[in-house]
Chain A
Amino acid sequence: MPQSQRIGLTVMVALIAIGPFLFFPVFLMKVLCFALYASAFNLLLGYVGLLSFGHAAYFGMGSYLSAHAAKMWGFSPELAIITGGLTAMILGAVFGFLAIRRQGIYFAMITLALAQMVYFFCVQAPFTGGEDGIQAVPRGHLFGVLDLRSDFTLYWVVAAIVLACFLFLYRIVHSPFGQVLKAIRDNEPRATSLGYRTDSYKLIAFVLSTTISGIAGGTKAIVFQIATLTDVNWPMSGEAVLMTLLGGIGTMFGPAMGALVIVTMQNELAEFGAWVMVIQGVIFVACVLAFRRGIIGEAQVWLRRPL
């Protein structure tokens, strides 16, 4: 790990450690879940160059299945979250197999359309509870022993899950496998001619990304004790894109930074209703027109070091 990233990671861990003493833990847990969701999305957009516009499907199904497992099957929270992750993994394998047949803009449209199919399924399927969602999901006891009803206790568990997944993503990006992904991003025909089966690499990256999105969704369901249609609808896909774009596409810490800014904004402006949507749109437009590197991306250029 280069020194700049080691410092970045230290700052992140320090912020996570002192956060709950300064801010409301539930708010911080929301930031953490979305930071993980956006980081998982960034694995695809930033390191394989694939823009998935349907990550809500994996986040949402992870959320639904974790909620269902915890509430109806009585799973302990860690097993419930794993259930959510596995669901997103299977869904990602099927959808990824279909979507990687087309590139670029088509890939975005196909992932969006497939995610919308999942949304309509969730509207109608009985287990999701329709408009009500799955409510009053028990937080339960971690490994059957540690009571998670206290926000403060739960915070450390969520922080551990998110950090572990984040480091896992870091490992993927900086492994030989990750190098091939970046080669595909920069020049796919060349990677093919060097003998790499680019489709397999893309599919594996896709499944890894969806699995972690599902874990993020499942963790969110346990934290807020609810899974709803909002989790699986298309604006949720847009949020992953927005957070990554604002924070910096293809940077390690960018998506987490983007999640922090966007979730804070949503919290502060919640009373203004639909203006949040307008502001998010304005951020999109501004980032695309004038701020394509994003916050961390600009910092990278300024410091001349990777972050």
Chain B
Amino acid sequence: MTEFWYDLEPFLQQGTLGLVNGAFYALLALGLAVIFGMLNVINFAHGAQFMLGAVVAWMLLTYAGIGYWGALILSPLIVGLLGVAIERTMIARLYKLDHLYGLLLTFGLALIIEGVVRNQYGVSGLPYGVPQAFRMPPVDLGYMLMPAYRFWIVVVSITVCLATWYAIEKTKIGSYLRAAVERPQLVQAFGVNVPLMMTATYGAGVALAAFAGVLAAPIYSVHPAMGANFIIIVFAVVVIGGMGSIMGSVVAGYMLGMVEGFVRVWWPEASATVVFVIMAIVLLLRPAGLFGRK
């Protein structure tokens, strides 16, 4: 028995640590899926907005002395408002065109955001310490000791994903949203302000990315490329989960984070590519994604 545990332990440990990455995949995939569902736009700038969330948190701390907890609320708010402005001035003009233009536009926005941050702060990382409240002994999970802050990330991420799912599936606003996804014109005819809902959805999705960025700031160094690295993996996650399904993207996010962890144990070099390999396999077997409908 003990020997069995001895063999299994590294897998459990890495799988649990992988859950931390998975927490970010899930949060980002959630935002992407919500935006895509409502606006039919793949938000390529999602990674840049994630990075911007972390940078704004760093700026709040450095220039205004506002700490982690303040940033966790303020940074998503600021970046989310930027998202609202972007949707109103640019994305809203593209709804009648081919969906590919939305992708091209947001790709351009991602380049602008990343380029500006790079000019301002260079390519090296900006330090952002783990908040005071988490400078305590690691959490004992029985098979491993998990740093308190990482534990917090997983808990918050699951909470936020569940709350978003609840808001979309079980509340009145959520039902409007789902209705508007299916039949925007009809919902508009019922007197619901659909363009406003689209703006709000984009703002909320962007705020979610920024929120993930603030969460990430203390464990990854804050640097301009941090979003680009994440977002392409999240694209693969979303293809695996099935874009139509919000829950599917979230579940796929956690799952793939853990799979990366497992793979890191027995073949560390492959952990960077395993998500893409799984995507290829899913495309062969279930082109619509694990939870998607064609």
Do they bind each other?
A: yes
Q: Is the CB of A101 within 8 A of B280?
A: no
Q: Considering the complex, which residues of chain B in the window 66-114 have a beta carbon less than 8 Å from any beta carbon of chain A?
A: 90, 93-94, 97, 99-101, 103-105, 107-114
- Interface flag for A270 (CB, 8 Å): no
CB proximity of B284 to chain A, nearest CB, Å? 7
Complex Cα spacing A121 to B272, Å: 9
Q: Is the CB of A108 within 8 A of B279?
A: no
Q: Is the CB of B94 within 8 A of A288?
A: yes
Asked, given contacts A98-B284, A124-B269, A278-B119, whether A114 binds B112 with beta carbons under 8 Å apart, the answer is: no
Q: Considering the complex, which residues of chain B in the window 13-52 have a beta carbon less than 8 Å from any beta carbon of chain A?
A: 36, 42
Q: Is the CB of B277 within 8 A of A117?
A: yes
Q: Is the CB of A282 within 8 A of B232?
A: no
Q: Considering the complex, which residues of chain A in the window 44-61 have a beta carbon less than 8 Å from any beta carbon of chain B?
A: 51, 53
Chain B, interface residues (CB within 8 Å), range: 35 or more
Q: Is the CB of B99 within 8 A of A105?
A: yes
Q: Is the CB of A106 within 8 A of B111?
A: no
CB proximity of A192 to chain B, nearest CB, Å? 16
Q: Which of B101, B110, B232 contacts A281 (CB 8 A)?
A: B110
* Set of chain A residues within 8 Å of B110, measured between Cβ atoms: 281
Q: Is the CB of A289 within 8 A of B90?
A: yes
- Interface flag for A112 (CB, 8 Å): yes
Q: Is the CB of B111 within 8 A of A109?
A: no
Q: Is the CB of B105 within 8 A of A285?
A: yes
Q: Is the CB of A98 within 8 A of B280?
A: yes
Q: Is the CB of A117 within 8 A of B105?
A: no
Q: Is the CB of A277 within 8 A of B94?
A: no
- Interface flag for B276 (CB, 8 Å): yes
Complex Cα spacing A225 to B115, Å: 28
Residue of B nearest to A233 (CB): B228
Asked, given contacts A108-B103, A273-B119, A278-B116, whether A284 binds B280 with beta carbons under 8 Å apart, the answer is: no
Residue of B nearest to A279 (CB): B115
Q: Is the CB of A234 within 8 A of B116?
A: no
Q: Is the CB of A275 within 8 A of B119?
A: yes
Complex Cα spacing A248 to B36, Å: 27
- Interface flag for A141 (CB, 8 Å): no
- Interface flag for B273 (CB, 8 Å): yes
Q: Is the CB of B283 within 8 A of A241?
A: no
Asked, given contacts A109-B238, A112-B232, A285-B90, whether A292 binds B112 with beta carbons under 8 Å apart, the answer is: no
Q: Which of A113, A241, A276 contacts B107 (CB 8 A)?
A: A241
* Set of chain B residues within 8 Å of A121, measured between Cβ atoms: 273
* Set of chain B residues within 8 Å of A15, measured between Cβ atoms: none
CB proximity of A275 to chain B, nearest CB, Å? 6
* Set of chain B residues within 8 Å of A283, measured between Cβ atoms: 108
Q: Which of A99, A104, A277, A288 contacts B104 (CB 8 A)?
A: A288
Q: Which of A105, A116, A234, A245 contacts B42 (CB 8 A)?
A: A105
Complex Cα spacing A292 to B94, Å: 11
Q: Is the CB of A288 within 8 A of B101?
A: yes
Q: Considering the complex, which residues of chain A in the window 229-270 have a beta carbon less than 8 Å from any beta carbon of chain B?
A: 234, 238, 241, 245
Q: Is the CB of B114 within 8 A of A117?
A: no
Asked, given contacts A105-B99, A274-B119, whether A284 binds B108 with beta carbons under 8 Å apart, the answer is: yes
Complex Cα spacing A274 to B123, Å: 10
Q: Considering the complex, which residues of chain B in the window 111-143 have a beta carbon less than 8 Å from any beta carbon of chain A?
A: 111-116, 118-119
Residue of A nearest to B237 (CB): A113
Q: Is the CB of B100 within 8 A of A108?
A: yes
- Interface flag for A120 (CB, 8 Å): yes
Q: Which of B112, B119, B273 contacts A120 (CB 8 A)?
A: B273
Q: Is the CB of A113 within 8 A of B118?
A: no
CB proximity of B98 to chain A, nearest CB, Å? 8
Complex Cα spacing A282 to B100, Å: 17
Q: Which of B99, B232, B283 contacts A98 (CB 8 A)?
A: B283
Q: Is the CB of B94 within 8 A of A116?
A: no
Interface bits B265-294 vs A (CB < 8 Å: 1, else 0): 000010011011101100110010000000
Q: Is the CB of B115 within 8 A of A281?
A: yes
Complex Cα spacing A96 to B255, Å: 27
Asked, given contacts A104-B99, A109-B239, whether A282 binds B108 with beta carbons under 8 Å apart, the answer is: yes
- Interface flag for B254 (CB, 8 Å): no
* Set of chain A residues within 8 Å of B202, measured between Cβ atoms: none
- Interface flag for A158 (CB, 8 Å): no
- Interface flag for B226 (CB, 8 Å): no
Chain A positions near chain B (C-beta within 8 angstroms): 51, 53, 98-99, 101-102, 104-106, 108-110, 112-114, 116-117, 120-121, 123-124, 234, 238, 241, 245, 273-278, 280-285, 287-289, 292
A-B contact pairs, 20 of them (CB 8 A): A51-B100, A102-B287, A105-B103, A106-B239, A112-B232, A113-B232, A113-B276, A113-B279, A114-B279, A114-B280, A121-B273, A234-B228, A274-B115, A275-B119, A277-B114, A278-B112, A284-B107, A285-B105, A285-B109, A287-B104
6 closest Cβ pairs, A-B complex: A284-B108, A281-B111, A277-B115, A281-B112, A278-B115, A117-B276
Chain B positions near chain A (C-beta within 8 angstroms): 36, 42, 90, 93-94, 97, 99-101, 103-105, 107-116, 118-119, 228, 232-233, 235-236, 238-239, 243, 269, 272-273, 275-277, 279-280, 283-284, 287
Q: In the complex, given contacts A109-B235, A112-B232, what are 13 additional A-B residue pairs having Cβ atoms less than 8 angstroms apart?
A: A113-B235, A116-B233, A117-B277, A234-B232, A245-B104, A277-B118, A281-B108, A281-B109, A281-B110, A284-B104, A284-B111, A288-B94, A289-B93
